[in-house]
Amino acid sequence: MSKTTSSLDIHYDEKDIHNELLADLITGFFGKNGKTKGNIVRWKMHFRKYCPLPSQQGCSVMENFNYLERSGLIAVGKYDILENIFRFVDERALCNIKDASQMINAIKSTSSDARATGYDFFAEIIIKMSRRCPAIEQQLTYILNNFVSGLEDALSPRFQLPPFYFTHQSRICPIETGLKIMKGTERPDRFPHIWKTTNSTLKTLTNFISNYNKDASRSSKIIVQTLLMFLYNLKQKYNVKRWRFLWNEYMVISVEFDNPFDLRAFLRCSYLLREDTRDSFHLIFDHVNDIRLAIPYIEIKNASIQNIPWRSQKSYLIHQTCS
C-alpha cells in the first residue's frame, strides 16, 4: 500500500501509526552500544512500577510492551505510561511518542474534509549558520520567500498562458518549469509569468549580493538554480505541497503536507534530508559572499498540526517582508 494520498480518507489508520511507533521504540532505543547502552537496565527498573509480575523482568522488551498492551496500560493514542518510563530511559524517544500522538489525534478529530476546516500538517527546516551575519541571512530569506510565492502565483487563473501552449495550467509545476528555463531546456516565452518572476529575482539577488560578491550576476543564477533543484527534490521525494521561507533568528523553511503520513515519512527521512539541505544551502551561502563560510547546521522538526489557514499565513509573511 502507498502512503501517498490527497486526503485523510486513506487505508492507513491510527492503529498503523500506533504499531509503527511501538516498533520504532523497541528497535531504536535498546541497543548494546552508543547512546542506547544501558537503556534496557533503565527500562526494567522503571517498567516494574507498572508490572507486579517478577516473570516479566526476565522477558524481552517486546514482551514487556505486549504486557502493557494486554493490560490496557498502553493503547492507540494512550502513551502516558510510555512517556513516564522513557523520561528515565531515553528522552529522545519522547519526540517519537509526541509525533505519533499528534497524528493519531488529528485523524480522530478530523474527517476527509479536514482541509476545509483548516487543519494543516507542517514541518520546519531550520538553517543555522555558524559564522553568521544575521542581516544578510534575513534579507536573503525575504528574497527567497518572495520568489517562491511569486512562482506559486505565476500560474494563477488570472494569468493566461500564450495561446500556442496547449498543456492545461493545472498540470504545470512552476518549480520544475523554472528549473528548465534556468538550465536552458525550456523557452522563457512559453511561460512568461514564471520567467518574469525568475528574472526579477535574479536582478534582486544580483543587486543585493553585489556588495559582497565580485561576480554577483553569475552567483545569482547559481543560487536560483540550486534553490529550484532543492525545492523540486522536496516535492518529488517527500510529497511536500507548499513551502515558505520565514525568519525566526535563523532562516526557516516551513513545509506543508496533504496528510499526516507524508509528514511522518518526511520526518523519518530527516537524516537524508539534512544532507541535501546542508549541501544546497552551503552552496547558496557560498555564492552570497566571497568569504567561504562553514557548513550550516540543519535542524528538522515537526511543527505540529496548526489550525491556521495557509492564506492567512501568506498575508502575514508578505506583511513581515514589507515591514
DSSP string, 92-156: THHHHHHHHHHHHHHHHH--TTGGGGT-EEEEEEEEE-SS--HHHHHHHHHHHHHHHHHHHHHT-
Residue 264, classed as helix, strand or coil, is: helix
Average pLDDT, the chain: 80
Reported as a single tens digit per residue, the pLDDT across 85-110 is 999 999 999 988 988 887 777 666 54
Window from 36-45, 219-228, 235-244, 267-276 with minimum mean pLDDT: 267-276
pLDDT band, residue 131 (cuts 50/70/90): confident
Residues in Cβ contact with 82 at an 8 Å cutoff, skipping those fewer than 6 apart? 25, 68, 74, 93, 97
pLDDT tens-digit map of 300-319:
887 755 444 444 444 333 33
